Structure formats: C-alpha cells, structure tokens
Structure 1
C-alpha cells in the first residue's frame, strides 16, 4: 500500500491550533502517515514538529510570491493538504490553484472585525471554505458559520489537545511542593493566585480583567493575577497596571504554563469568543476552578463544571472570583466536576482517528 502523504499548514498559529497540529502530526506519523508541516520557523522552535517525525517546511505567514511558491511546492506531492485557521486556509487555496489535491480546513476559532475589514474577512472566509473538500469546525457555531459561507461539506470535529503530562491528585505531596515553588516564583506566596493565559489582543477580554482587578485590591490578602502570553496589547496593559497600581503580573510567553496553571487557585477565561479553549481544557483536567465567559463553545465544553459569566461584565467577574476565593468547598466541588467533565471529551486518539478517516474518504478511489 502506498504511504499516505499529508501537508499540515499553519499560519501565525494560535496556541490551540499549534498544539493540535503537533498532536495530530505525532499521531499520524505513528500510524504510518508521512507528514510535512508548513509553518513559520518560530513555531517549529516552540513546537518541534520535526521531533514528532514530520518534515518541517519553513513558510512565513505571508501571501507574497516566495512564500506561496514554497507552499505550492510542498503541497504538490501531497495526497491531502490540511490547513488550520483562516489565513492558512486562504493561502493553501491559492497555492493549490490548478492542483488536484483535496484541501481539508479546520476552523479552530473565529475573528471579529467591523466595517471594511469585516467585509474583507467574510470574503476570505468564503474563499477558504469554498475551496475546501471538507471543513472541520471545532464547535457547532463554526460549522454553521462555514455552511453559511458556502462550504460544500462542513462537519463538527472537536479538537482534543494533549493532556497535561501529569494530572495531580488531591493531597499529592510532590504536586503540592511543585505548586509551592511555582507560586513562590510568581510572588504569590501567602496570597491567592489567579491565572489567565492567551495572546494579548483585544478580543481576549483583558481590559475587563484589569477592571475586575481593581476590586480585588480590597481583599485581604490581595490576590495576584498572572497573565501568560504576548501580543500587541502588552504595552497598553502594562501601562494600566502601573498607573492604577493593579495586582497583576504579565509574565510573557511561557513553556511551563501547565505547571503555573496547576498552582493557581482560580483560572480565568474572559474572552469575547472561544471554541474549545486550550486554557479551559487544561484547567478542568488539572482540577483548577474556572471562571469563564459564556460565549461560543465554552458552555458546551465545560457544562456545569465552571462558573460562567457574561462577556465584558467586570462586576460579575470580580464578584464571582471573590466568592470563590472565600468558599473552599465550592472550589473543591468545581475541581472534582472539572475532572469528571474532562473525562467525557474526545481523546487525542479519537481526534486522530477521525481526521484520518476524513483523509481516507478523500483519497480512496470512488466505487464504480
């Protein structure tokens, strides 16, 4: 049997989509599939696709002729090209123009824009989904959106991400020691630790989070809010933190997010929209109480295992966190419910098997 050859295409690569591609790549390689990952060098340094057994093809997140040429050359010998995210999908569609190679597109999230940029965004979405043989949406809402944009075949495909290397048990002395070291490093010894993770961009809701942090200054002891991530809003957020004296620390991009999150008293997800949030999945698996906005696929992901609040409501966010910090029984209840909920999600093996079945469907000869 001829070895199946796939090309995975990433653009800028959110943490969720990049982690998914790494997991998918490792699983496909283990099943005898030849995988090439077209992604910027920066993502290869972080996610080490080569270490999973894939070929890495450096392709910048641009649509210039050189980048498109490199992408086209990489895709020319593939049996299936799989693009992750809108920008990767559009560039893949352009690169595949004239080639008889099926394109699979996974939508991990959505982008918000108004006015002329919003119109351009809709055009790009239509271009991407109409070029795809199959669109896989990480949530029901994304599947519906792809169908409205003209997708020929759009399917729900919940994206599983790797489980934490070690899910701590309650009362685990080694884990308690690790948590203590993480809290000491962050400056949260003797005070509650709140944790948020994600790119520092407007739709993440960090402005609302800083508004809530003003209220937490009245608590004793004052909790420390740690935000892990980088992005164009960093300077503005740091300016507010400094000017308003907020108990908030921006720690940048970290490769030990799981360890930091495991040490937190509460995880926070204040986003405007999320599909299968990486933070939400890790928090529930780790048994860390989660406060999240009731947006996108978050309610269907977490069920009753998290506290849900409206997007942009700083008062609700501040009050919910304050209540949780004063109620250890409720935090323990959420920790237990989170682990139970996480056990119901598709596994990495489920996700890989589903994607491979789509590839097989697109590459098998049609019955006469």
Structure 2
C-alpha cells in the first residue's frame, strides 16, 4: 500500500487550531503518514511544524491571490486535504476547485464567488477530486453585512467538503444547517502541558503580584466577544473583598488599549500581561480561572483549568457545557452580577473549590487523548482515500 499523504491548511491560526495541527502532524508522521502543513510563516515559528516531522509551506497573507496558487501546488498528489477554520477552508476549497493554473482574486476569496460545489479535475493524481476535510474549531459571530458573508462562506465551504468535523455538537448542528453532506463530531483535546506543573506556584504568584491575595486568571485574545468588558464590570464589584483579588489576563488583541484605559481610569485590580508561552504554569498558580466569552467550542482555557484542577467559572455558551459537565460554575454570557457572584462564592468557599478541582480532573479523564484524536482523524482519511 502506498504511503498516505495529507495536507493540513491553517488560515489565521487560532491557538486551538494551531496546537491541534501540531499534535495531529506529529501523530500522523509517527504512523507513517506524509504530512504537509500550509500556514502563515509565523505559525511555524510558534508551533514548530517542521519539528513534528512535517513539510512546511508558508502561505502569503490573507487576501493575496498568490495564496490559492501556492496552496494548489502544495496539494498536488495529496490523498486528503484537511482545512482548519473558515479562512483555511475557503482557501482550500478554492485551490481544489480552480482549474489548473487558475488564480482567484482577493475579492473572490473574501466573498466566496470563486468557488461553488465540489468540482472534478482537482490536483489529485489520476484527475479525480482530492477529498477535502474541514474542521470547525470555534463559532465566530459577525453582525450585519459581514455576518451575511460569513454565512455564505460557511455554506460554500461545507458543500465543497467531503466531511465536516465539528469540535462540539453545536458546531456539527450548525454545519448541517449550512448544508453539509456529512458532518461528524470530532472533539479535539489540547495537548497536555509538557513536564511537571506546580499548583499555586509561589514564584509565579510573586511574579504576577499575588503573594498575599487571591489570583484570578483569564486567557484569550483581547477581541470583541471575549467578554472582557463584563469581566471588568465584575472586577469592579470585587473591590470590597479583603484582600482584594488580582485578575490577570493573558493575551493580545485590538481591544488591549481600550481595556487598559478603563483599568487605569477605574483603578481596577487587573493586569494585562500580553501573550505568554507559560500559560499552564500561570494558570496552575491561580485560585480561580475565568472564561467570560460569548462564543466557545472546546475552550483551551477550560481544558487546561480542569486538567490542572483549577476551579473554573465560565459562560454557558456553545460547547462549554458539553465540555465541562458539572465540573465548573456556569453563568450566562454578559451577566456581570452572576459572574462576580460565582467568583466571589468560590473565593469564600474552600471546600467548593476543592470539589471542583477534583471534578475537573475526573471530567478531563473523559476527553479523548491526543492518540485517540489522531486515530479518529486518520480513520476519516483512510475512509475517504479508499484504504
């Protein structure tokens, strides 16, 4: 039997999808699969796909017409192409449906007019169409005209895909509503932190400025829809606690300046520490983890917190309830009073924190392992490649 070859495609590259592709590439290579990762160059510097044994093809920036040509060339001879996220799925569908030597304009990539349903004559050897698998890792929410374009692209990409994998039941249902012919649940487990992680590490707490006060930790891009405005509202209500807890937010994004202005103006006990590569260590030092997002599927923060035994307060949105079960305190999105009350209740109840820590580790044990995740994806590839 010939060696299976797959191309993994990333667009913007969220932390969840990028780390999943790193884990997937490593596991597939270990099973004798030839893997090519096509992604923006900076993602290889962050996730080291070459170090996983994959071939790496840097893609031009989003909107550059050369992207589709580069991707099409990379897919020549592939048995299966696997795109992660909407941007990557648009690019991959265009690359697989465009005629040989064809180029898609930047405008056609953004509005979806350059591709329709599955087309024959893709880059697979023998003139047959290369199967496209697309994974939906999260659910974006856009309003107005941008929301209409997003829905159009979702419909076009799921109809171009042989199989759509959703990391939560909500995403599978959404793909089916958009017209997916074959949508399946494929939970993705974030790779566990490498090496020992010390809970309530005094050194980490000292660095963050929380030696003699409770430490709350949130992680994620500083973007709209992440719920940080609500989180700051909650932080304002904690000022009467003695000692006052310190809220630390790790991440970067367009909302950083606005958030910092508010933190300064209101004198909030909140620190923005930017992007960090030691999130697991910082999270392990926290008394409570907080996830205030509007949209989540299989949140990296939720997975890390439960696995480490850090009590979690999260919004009951998307795939979060399915992911955490009874092992977290869930509150409505945008409800600052409920969020503040849940955190306050945990800080005042050590027994409840211990119960959630134990329940979190049990819940984490129900998630698929990295090895099981790779085996599941490979079974889909074998099915599509007729192996």
Check whether TM > 0.5.
Answer: yes
Q: Distance in 1 between matches of 2:28 and 2:365?
A: 23
Partner residue of 2:57?
A: 57
Q: Distance in 2 between matches of 1:217 and 1:45?
A: 41
Partner residue of 1:119?
A: 148
Q: Please list the CA deviations of residues 229-259 of structure 1 after superposition, one character each: whole Å capped at 9, or x if unmatched.
A: 1111111111111111111111111000000
Q: Distance in 2 between matches of 1:181 and 1:55?
A: 39
Partner residue of 1:345?
A: 367
SS in 2 for 1:203: coil
Residue 156 (structure 1) aligned to one of 161, 185, 192: 185
Partner residue of 1:21?
A: 21
What aligned pairs does 1:219-238 form with structure 2 within 5 A after superposition? Answer: 219-238=241-260
Q: Please list the CA deviations of residues 189-245 of structure 1 after superposition, one character each: whole Å capped at 9, or x if unmatched.
A: 111110001111111111100110101111111111111111111111111111111
Residue 108 of structure 1 and its aligned partner are, at CA, apart by 0.4
Partner residue of 2:232?
A: 210
Q: Please list the CA deviations of residues 27-56 of structure 1 after superposition, one character each: whole Å capped at 9, or x if unmatched.
A: 001100011111111111111111110111
Residue 167 of structure 1 and its aligned partner are, at CA, apart by 6.0
- Counting matched residue pairs gives 358
Quick check: 1:262–1:288 contact (8 Å CA) kept in 2? yes
What aligned pairs does 1:87-166 form with structure 2 within 5 A after superposition? Answer: 87-97=87-97, 98-99=121-122, 100-166=129-195
Residue 164 of structure 1 and its aligned partner are, at CA, apart by 2.2
Query: After TM superposition, which residue ranges in structure 1, 4 or more long, deviate above 2 angstroms?
Result: 164-168
Quick check: 2:141–2:295 contact (8 Å CA) kept in 1? no
Q: Distance in 1 between matches of 2:203 and 2:303?
A: 23
Q: Distance in 2 between matches of 1:61 and 1:200?
A: 21
Unaligned 5+ segments in structure 2 are 98-120, 123-128
Taking structure 2 as the reference length, the TM-score comes to 0.91
Q: Please list the CA deviations of residues 59-83 of structure 1 after superposition, one character each: whole Å capped at 9, or x if unmatched.
A: 1341322111111111112111000
Partner residue of 1:183?
A: 205
Residue 84 in structure 1 maps to residue 81 in structure 2:
no
Q: Please list the CA deviations of residues 132-161 of structure 1 after superposition, one character each: whole Å capped at 9, or x if unmatched.
A: 000000111111111111111100111112
Q: Distance in 1 between matches of 2:136 and 2:241?
A: 41
Q: Distance in 2 between matches of 1:187 and 1:244?
A: 19
What aligned pairs does 1:328-367 form with structure 2 within 5 A after superposition? Answer: 328-364=350-386
Q: Distance in 1 between matches of 2:364 and 2:18?
A: 21
Greater Cα offset, 318-327 or 60-69: 60-69
Q: Distance in 1 between matches of 2:84 and 2:257?
A: 29
